[in-house]
Structures are given as structure tokens and as C-alpha cells.
Amino acid sequence: MSDNKEKVLETATKLFAELGFEKTSMALICKEAKVSKGLVYHHFESKKSILIEIFTSSTHKMIESNVNINDTIEPKGELKQLINNVFYQLENDKLFFQFNLNIMFQPSTRSLLEAHIKERADILFKSVKRIFDKISLDRSEILTYTLLAEIDGIALNYLSVFDDYPLQMIKAELLNKYNKIKK
């Protein structure tokens, strides 16, 4: 990928996260990325297509990072690793989570990405359920839904509700809960 295209994607990701998709103008992206409008439209069909490219490529990164979870170890260890991963990202890539939250809940962007969002949710669901399947086939579905809700809820409250969210305490609580889980 050309340097300039990459630059545009990075700039757009940052601006979409900070200002929201609607409030980020193509002119601003061009200015911040230090390229011309003509060039952006040479690389991307439209503003929407920039968003779609960002979203899908972030899905790929997410899948790759999940692949790294060692599935040879015992399920409780996998859960621990998964939870640690999530909290690590939550602390170190706030902007990325914010970006995802705002494009998912903004109806205009949401509808653009509907299929991609479903696809990503499906991948995530399956990769978590695979772990719980080893613990309890009967309850794996409900456990998966619960853990995903817990993670999303924590992210939401951490990023957008409370100023002084006790993230470490919540993390410990969650690790403890899933460490006690019975086969």
C-alpha cells in the first residue's frame, strides 16, 4: 500500500474516533494527512469506503490477535488469557474502542457496516464459545453471551460513563469469577 494511502487511513481512523464520522470532513482528513483531495479520491471511492476499509482491516487485526490465544492449554487458562488481552487493549488503545463504539451506534455508519459488524460479532462469539464448549457444552452459549456482555459493558462504562472507573478491581473480579468456574 502506498505511503500516502496508509497515511490517509491512519489519519481518518484517528479523526473518526475523536470527532465521529459525520463531523470529520474530507477536507480535514486531507489537511491532517497532508495530501490533496484529488489523491484521496484516487485511492478511495468515497468517504464511506474509507470507513469500510478501516473497519474491515481492524476486524482482520482482531482475528489475528485472537489466533494467538493458545488453544492447547486448559480452558481456564484460555479464559484468563482472553480477559487479560481485552483489558490490555482497553487500556492501551482507547481510541480504537471509541471508534468502534461510535460507528456501531451511529445509525448512519451502522447501516453502512451492518454486514461487517455481524461478521465480526460472529467470529468473536465463536472464538469465545469454543473455549466454553470445553467447560460445559450445555451452558457454553449462555456463558459466551454473558462474558461478551460483561466485556462490552465494562468497556462502555470505562470509556464513556465513569471518570474514575476502577478497571483493575473489575478485572480482578472478572478473572476470579472465571477462575472459579466449574466444569
Interface residue list for its own copies (CB under 8 A): 17-20, 22-23, 98, 101-102, 104-108, 110, 117-118, 121, 125, 141-142, 145-146, 148-154, 156-157, 160-163, 165-166, 169-170, 173
Question: Could you say whether residue 36 binds DNA (CB under 7 A)?
Answer: yes
User: Interface with DNA by CB under 7 A: which range of 17-25, 72-80, 139-147, 168-176?
Assistant: 17-25
Q: Which three cell numbers stand for residue 62?
A: 482482531
Nearest CB to its own copies, comparing residues 27 and 67 = 27
Q: Which of 43, 76, 80, 116 binds DNA (CB under 7 A)?
A: 43
DSSP characters over 115-160: HHHHHHHHHHHHHHHHHHHHH-TTTHHHHHHHHHHHHHHHHHHHHH
Q: Which three cell numbers stand for residue 90?
A: 482497553
Which x/- pattern over 44-73 shows residues binding DNA (rule: CB under 7 A)? -xxxx-------------------------
Q: Give CA torsion, residues 157, 160, 162, 165, to 10 deg.
A: 60
* Plot region of 126 (φ>0 → left; ψ -120 to 50 → alpha; else → beta): alpha
**What's the closest the beta carbon of residue 151 comes to its own copies, in angstroms?**
7
